[in-house]
Amino acid sequence: MTEIIGRGPDDIVRSYREAFGDDRLIVVSNREPYEHRWGEDVGEVLVKRPAGGLTSALDPLMQSVGGVWIAWGSGDADAAVVNQEDRVMVPPEDARYTLRRLWLDQHDVNRYYLGYSNQFLWPLCHYRPALTRVRARYWERYRRVNRRFADAVLDESRGGGAAVWIQDYHLALAAAHVRSKRPDLSLAHFWHIPWPPVEIFEVTPQAGKLMRGLLANDLMGFQLPSHRNNFLRCALTLVGAEIDWERHTATLDDHTCHVRDFPISIDIDSFVEAATRPGSDEAVARLRDRYCPKDGQLGIGVDRMDYSKGLPEKLKTLDFLFERYPEYRERFTFVQVGVPSRTDIEAYDELTQKVDRLVWEVNDRHGTPGWQPIHLIKQSLPAERLAILYRAADVCIVASLRDGMNLVAKEFVVCQTDERGVLLLSRFAGAARELGHSLQVNPYDPEDFARILRDALALSPERRAELVRANQAELRNIYDWMADIFDTWGRIRNGSELDPVEELS
Ligand code: GDG
């Protein structure tokens, strides 16, 4: 595989220490990186790593830098393993940092998490205002839970300095609470999902409060320049912040927030290692034997079951492929991993039913006695299995209707150690900006999407290898992402963030 030269864990520790000295790193997110669950045997505790882009991205970083990660203790055995201060060291097999758990009751989960976060902010930020549900009690609880997260930050930073790094849309109000009590702390927030244009965001009844909450940070990070610009325009229009469009800052009530884009990435080495460890060649061969028709090809998809991921559009595309190009029947099989997600929300339940129905229809229409066109795996696979699946595939399809980045696309590219797999990538996923050697598709146009899929299946091994290598050469490591953020954040903190005029000279 193309050698990817980038920064590593040691560079992150150095970047962090240069920026923040001995200050403690405090990461705050809704989802925890490790969940403890009761096993089947009495007293047995199992450790689960929830599937999701955010936790997969940040855990390796916390393991390098150390510090404390504050998150909702969502596992049923979580409370049994923490100490009196609700802390537990993780990873369990090699304690590297502290996980501080915060407890949510059923109302919190229903209103703050499933309500305001996932039935208001999530659809809105994915450009789907028609899917939002506005309820006063959701907002009330969102505020209250955000304040509790902020209180935990204040507690963990007592008696010293800290760099507080807040994650994602669940915690938009946390920074303002922290700043009101500890203006000396350095605050940054990374928003993993898109930020929509002001014409969409302004439907938010609490738009001004959310903007003020986020502008309390010293640094706001987004995946793409377009999200950054949308946010700055919202700051101008909705709360009258003063915007410097060259330096990308928003100033409100004498506080300046720097707004930047930092496209997130993955821990490249860990995926390459999982795809190539001893026994992997046999595992790849077994997987192809199981699913792939003899001398045929294997396609894969890996998504949380979420309406932003374009699963029905992907399945319609497969339907068109088998209808328009029947030579692919019994020659191409598709395996879709669809990890159940937010199953208590109606829109997700409807999506799951729709996906089940579409899979059934395509299989019914095009399947033959010895061959099933689509296999839907509705469960989370262990990370090593995922790397083998990526490596075994001839194509991977990412069909997001809107996606902040999409880590699956990047993971697939790095696992191509045999230089075989071609990536079909939605133009509407943030990853499309970097992965220019994927075949880019418009999921709203399934006929053309099917034509591009056919073209992908027809590519020669040489052309596939060229595309793989070119995409791999574009990829940066998660550590570069982290170091970029710490370097920028550190310069802001030290007052040395250059303005663009100085940078140019
Ligand atoms: C949000 C933004 C942004 C999936 N299935 C399994 C599994 N996964 C892991 C993948 C990947 C992660 O989940 C999914 O990440 P994505 O980036 O694709 O999507 P979101 O969860 O929506 O993440 C997204 C991301 O945050 C980071 O900023 O890219 O735009 O929406 O890492 O590997 N992992 C395992 N088994 C599975 O079955 N082990």
Confidence band of 51 (pLDDT split at 50, 70, 90): low
Give the SS3 label for residue 212. Answer: helix
Shortest-distance atom of ligand 1 to CA 264:
28
Spacing, Cα 299 to ligand 1 middle (Å): 18
Architecture field, domain 9-265+479-493:
3-Layer(aba) Sandwich (3.40)
Query: What is the residue with the minimal CA distance to atom 10 of ligand 1?
Result: 408
Query: What is the residue with the minimal CA distance to atom 27 of ligand 1?
Result: 53
Query: What is the residue with the minimal CA distance to atom 30 of ligand 1?
Result: 404
Shortest-distance atom of ligand 1 to CA 377:
38
Q: What letters, b where the CB count within 10 A reaches 16 and e where it falls short, cover 312-322?
A: bbbbbbbbbbb
Looking at residue 505, its pLDDT comes to 41
Q: What letters, b where the CB count within 10 A reaches 16 and e where it falls short, cover 446-478?
A: beebbbbbbebbebeeeebeebbeebbebbbbb
Tell me the mean pLDDT in the region 279-307.
95
Spacing, Cα 53 to ligand 1 middle (Å): 3
Question: CB-side exposure of 425: number of CA atoms within 13 Å?
Answer: 27
Query: What is the residue with the minimal CA distance to atom 15 of ligand 1?
Result: 53
502, pLDDT greater than 80? no
- Per-residue pLDDT reduced to its tens digit, 410-457: 999 999 999 999 999 999 999 999 999 999 999 999 999 999 999 999
Looking at residue 294, its pLDDT comes to 85
| Chain centroid, CA 231 distance in Å | 19
Other Cβ atoms within 10 Å of 297 Cβ, number: 19
Q: In the structure encoding, which two tokens stand for residue 165, read together?
A: 């790094």
Spacing, Cα 56 to ligand 1 middle (Å): 7
Looking at residue 2, its pLDDT comes to 46
Global confidence as pTM: 0.95
Shortest-distance atom of ligand 1 to CA 398:
18
Query: What is the spatial distance between Cα 96 and Cα 77, in angstroms, rounded to a whole number?
Result: 21
Shortest-distance atom of ligand 1 to CA 429:
30
**Cα–Cα separations (whole angstroms), residue 422 to 147, 230, 293:** 45, 32, 18
- Report the CATH superfamily, name and number, of domain 269-474: Glycogen Phosphorylase B; (3.40.50.2000)
Give just the sign of the alpha carbon dihedral 373, 375, 376, 382: negative
Spacing, Cα 390 to ligand 1 middle (Å): 14
Name the residue of 54, 125, 167, 302 whose CB sits within 8 Å of the most ligand 1 atoms, as the mutation to test its pocket: 302
Q: At what angle do helices 478-493 and 53-65 cross, to 10 degrees?
A: 70
Query: What is the spatial distance between Cα 123 and Cα 127, in angstroms, rounded to a whole number?
Result: 6
Q: Which of 472, 412, 482 is nearest to 167 (CA)?
A: 482
Spacing, Cα 303 to ligand 1 middle (Å): 7
Question: CB-side exposure of 398: number of CA atoms within 13 Å?
Answer: 28
Pocket around ligand 1: residues whose beta carbon is below 6 Å from it?
51-54, 56-57, 192-193, 264, 302, 304, 337, 339, 380-383, 386, 403-408, 411
- Per-residue pLDDT reduced to its tens digit, 460-490: 999 999 999 999 999 998 889 988 999 999 9
Query: What is the residue with the minimal CA distance to atom 8 of ligand 1?
Result: 51
Q: In the structure encoding, which two tokens stand for residue 66, read together?
A: 């150390």
Other Cβ atoms within 10 Å of 93 Cβ, number: 6
Looking at residue 53, its pLDDT comes to 61
Looking at residue 56, its pLDDT comes to 73
Whether residue 258 contacts residue 245, with contact meaning beta carbons closer than 8 Å, is answered with no
User: Domain residue spans in the chain?
Assistant: 9-265+479-493, 269-474
Looking at residue 499, its pLDDT comes to 53
Give the DSSP per-residue string, 296-345.
Answer: -EEEEEEEES-GGG-HHHHHHHHHHHHHH-GGGTTTEEEEEEEE---TTS
Spacing, Cα 400 to ligand 1 middle (Å): 12
Virtual torsion, Cα 13, 15, 16, 22, nearest 10 deg: 90
- Per-residue pLDDT reduced to its tens digit, 228-253: 999 999 999 999 999 999 999 999 99
Query: What is the spatial distance between Cα 167 and Cα 188, in angstroms, rounded to a whole number?
Result: 9
Spacing, Cα 199 to ligand 1 middle (Å): 28
User: Angle at CA 357, nearest 5°, toward 54 and 400?
Assistant: 30
Query: What is the spatial distance between Cα 165 and Cα 58, in angstroms, rounded to a whole number?
Result: 11
Q: In the structure encoding, which two tokens stand for residue 218, read together?
A: 């010293």
Looking at residue 141, its pLDDT comes to 98
Residue type at position 205: P
Looking at residue 52, its pLDDT comes to 62
Spacing, Cα 55 to ligand 1 middle (Å): 9
Looking at residue 42, its pLDDT comes to 83
Query: What is the spatial distance between Cα 113 and Cα 342, in angstroms, rounded to a whole number?
Result: 10
- Per-residue pLDDT reduced to its tens digit, 256-282: 999 999 999 998 988 999 999 999 999
Query: What is the spatial distance between Cα 173 and Cα 213, in angstroms, rounded to a whole number?
Result: 4
Cβ contacts of residue 5 below 8 Å, gap of 6+?
none
Query: What is the residue with the minimal CA distance to atom 13 of ligand 1?
Result: 52
Spacing, Cα 21 to ligand 1 middle (Å): 32
Q: What letters, b where the CB count within 10 A reaches 16 and e where it falls short, cover 266-295?
A: bbbbbbbebbbeeebeebbeebbeebbbee
Query: What is the spatial distance between Cα 124 and Cα 103, in angstroms, rounded to a whole number?
Result: 27
- Per-residue pLDDT reduced to its tens digit, 368-411: 999 999 999 999 898 889 999 999 999 999 999 999 999 999 99
Spacing, Cα 107 to ligand 1 middle (Å): 27
Q: In the structure encoding, which two tokens stand for residue 232, read together?
A: 């700055």
Q: What is the DSSP pairing of strand 297-304 with strand 332-339?
A: parallel
Give the SS3 label for residue 473. Answer: helix
Tell me the mean pLDDT in the region 102-109.
97
Are the folds of 9-265+479-493 and 269-474 the same? yes
Q: In the structure encoding, which two tokens stand for residue 421, read together?
A: 């797999």
Confidence band of 15 (pLDDT split at 50, 70, 90): confident
58, pLDDT greater than 90? no
Residue type at position 3: E
Quickly count helices (H) and strands (E) in the chain: 20, 18
Question: Phi, psi at residue 280, to the nearest 5°?
Answer: -70, -35
Q: In the structure encoding, which two tokens stand for residue 276, read together?
A: 């190539």
